[in-house]
Structure 1
Amino acid sequence: MSSVATWPSQAETWLDERGKGAWIAAMVLGFIFFWPVGLALLAYMIWSKRMFSGKCASKRATYNSRHAFRSSGNMAFDSYKAETLRRLEEEQDAFEAFLQRLREAKDKAEFDQFMDDRAKRAKDVNEADEDKTVEA
């Protein structure tokens, strides 16, 4: 009975690991072979926000992080795992901070270029106006 109860969650996990394309393929195949299955999958995708989020793996990441800190029974391995996870989280935070600084630098460079172009156009317009007043 328990294997029957878990097959939907196993199928959901399997599809989540493969991404939104797998969900869409399953839905299309459901419509082809037996339309109520396709309709049920479409309704589930919309209800669970898999259709619009673009992140099917978000539930999997939550599942993995919940079980990442479960003890294996081996204290040395648990210590190593905790240290590795802490280090990876620090590296991820550092990388995200780097990307943010990179975006800010790019935005500043684009804004500075815009302001330089604007100042150049204003200078050109002023010179053109001066030339017209000198000719008159």
Structure 2
Amino acid sequence: MTTYADLPQSRPNWFVRAESWMDERGKGAWIAAMVLGFILFWPVGLAILAYMLWGRKFSMSKGCRMRARSGLAMTRSTGNSAFDAYRAETLRRLEEEQDAFQAFLERLRDAKDKAEFDQFMSDRARKSQRQDDEAVDA
């Protein structure tokens, strides 16, 4: 990352100076500038947010990347066969419960759809019967 001190001796433009100043103060300064930009004039805040995202001001740190990858570690062996067996059994049981719950939700949706359709058909039949009765009375 280039800081103001690393720049050539010629006076850099205001944007480079501001960026260096913000970088020296850390992510908190960038967040404060973005919030202030949104408060003062929302396009300024949006521009700062876009610059932070596309300028990689908020790229994931090593700790974040490791936590993001920890989901993949669930399939790896820990070296403890008893724990690995317990984990495999628990995951299998949870998958079965999830499948059963999904099937329950599907049955629930089907029952609701059938009830709505039956209600529609009975309303339609009553409306048709009323029209027939009115036609006979006329």
Q: Given the two structures, how large is their TM-score scaled by the length of structure 1?
A: 0.56
Shift of 1:125: 0.5
Cα 1:33–1:67 shift into 2, 3 Å: farther
| Residues in 1 aligned to 2:50 and 2:111: alpha-carbon distance in whole angstroms | 47
Higher helix share: 1
Gaps of 5+ in 2: 1-29, 38-44, 56-67
Structure 1 stretches of 4+ with a deviation exceeding 3 A read 27-30, 33-37, 40-44, 62-65
Deviation at residue 40 of structure 1 after TM alignment: 3.6
Q: CA RMSD in A?
A: 2.8
CA pair 99-29 structure 1, distance change in 2 beyond 3 A: farther
Q: State how far apart, in whole Å, the 2-side matches of 1:41 and 1:112 are.
A: 55
Q: Which gives a bigger RCO, structure 1 or 2 (Cα 8 Å, sep 6+)? A: 1
State which structure, 1 or 2, has the greater radius of gyration over its C-alpha atoms. Answer: 2
* Contact persistence 1:29–1:38 (CA under 8 A): no
1:116 correspondence with 2:122: yes
TM-score normalised per structure 2? 0.55
Q: State, as a whole percentage, how many aligned pairs show the same letter.
A: 49
Equivalent position SS for 2:76? coil
Matched residue count: 89
Consecutive unaligned residues of structure 1, counting only runs of 5 or more, are 1-26, 45-61
